[in-house]
Amino acid sequence: MASVASAHQLLKLALFISLLHFSSAARNLAAESEQSGQPLLFQYHNGPLLTGKISINLIWYGNFKPSQRAIVSDFITSLSSSNPTTPPPPPQQQQQQPSVATWWKSIENYYHLVSSKSKKSSSLSLHLGSQIVDDKYSLGKSLSNQQIVKLASKGGQENAINVVLTSSDITVDGFCSSSCGRHGSSTTPASIRGRSYNKFAYIWVGNSETQCPGQCAWPFHQPIYGPQTAPLVAPNNDVGVDGIVINLASLLAGTVTNPFGNGYYQGPKEAPLEAASACTGIYAKGAYPGYAGDLLVDPMTGASYNAHGSNGRKYLLPALFDPSTSTCSPLV
């Protein structure tokens, strides 16, 4: 009986170590940087970044409430301070500061560096595209990576990022055991502007509320291991979906700056540290392992956040790695 319990503990420990891969790798790199006196070597590998007007298409798989879909769609809408084709909103409707749009604007640092190398200007503009709801579980409740790509291909594949979001009752290969989500690219047959195929970027994020909130929705849930600080109150009162936003934000930053595996990243191509994953666990100044940082707190709800969004929303967003200073730069 003791041996069974011991094996169970070892399995849980292995799972935790796997889930902390990016966080520990980022901290190891930081430690190496301090010891050597050299900044983190966050390299550009000469591949394309996503540019132009990009639509974010959302594919909802499983059981999501309309209120949950609104939290995520409002986050996507918040990424741009205004639509370039329309006048800016009146002051009372503009995002308060610090804002989601300000957080996203720091991604421009990557584009400025690429432009300085190539002598060609490039820019990026994101907007909310189509939304597809599959609440009939067309592929079942246990999905493979190939099925995630199949779902992602349902969205538009030109000038787009297709985001697959799976509900809390869906299991996905690697979910909780090695990742909270992932991004990648795929090619599908197409006839667009004379090309025989079309390469598109996609993201998958799962709702961890009932499966592994301690790993994928921290700091809104008590962690399984590590410093046992009290969980924070989620700004939209939904631990699972507020966790989705954190992971989606991180993966969006990685997708646009390293869409096809040859953009900006640090470390091995197979397990890269990207714009946000290089700063895992940092949400505000003063952060350290087990502490998200000195966040803003809503006096009415007690919720912790660091960014204002559309429709009065508040969100918690990860720090982004600034390639011009080689440091993690939180919003607050």
In a domain, 51, yes or no: yes
Which residue type sits at 297? Answer: V
What is the structure's pLDDT at 28? 42
- Please identify every stretch of the chain with a pLDDT value under 70, giving residue numbers as ranges: 1-40, 81-95, 118-121, 188-197
Q: How far is CA 308 from CA 121, 291, 315, in A?
A: 29, 21, 6
Q: How many structural domains is the chain composed of? A: 1
Nearest-angstrom CA–CA distance, 220 and 213: 8
Q: How far is CA 317 from CA 36, 94, 163, 164, 193, in A?
A: 30, 19, 18, 19, 37
Structure token digits, residue 123? 């820019």
CB 307 within 8 A of CB 103: yes
In a domain, 29, yes or no: no
Q: How far is CA 89 from CA 75, 102, 104, 311, in A?
A: 17, 16, 19, 12
Structure token digits, residue 131? 């939304």
Nearest-angstrom CA–CA distance, 247 and 256: 14
Structure token digits, residue 23? 């966080």
CB 185 within 8 A of CB 259: yes
Structure token digits, residue 201? 């970027």
What is the structure's pLDDT at 250? 97
In a domain, 12, yes or no: no
What is the structure's pLDDT at 259? 94
Q: What is the residue range of 168's domain?
A: 43-329
What is the structure's pLDDT at 258? 95
Closest CA to 284 of 238, 320, 326: 320
Closest CA to 60 of 170, 208, 187: 170
Nearest-angstrom CA–CA distance, 88 and 138: 41
Q: Mind listing the pLDDT tens digit for each residue in 134-152?
A: 999 999 999 999 999 999 9
In a domain, 13, yes or no: no
Nearest-angstrom CA–CA distance, 16 and 59: 29
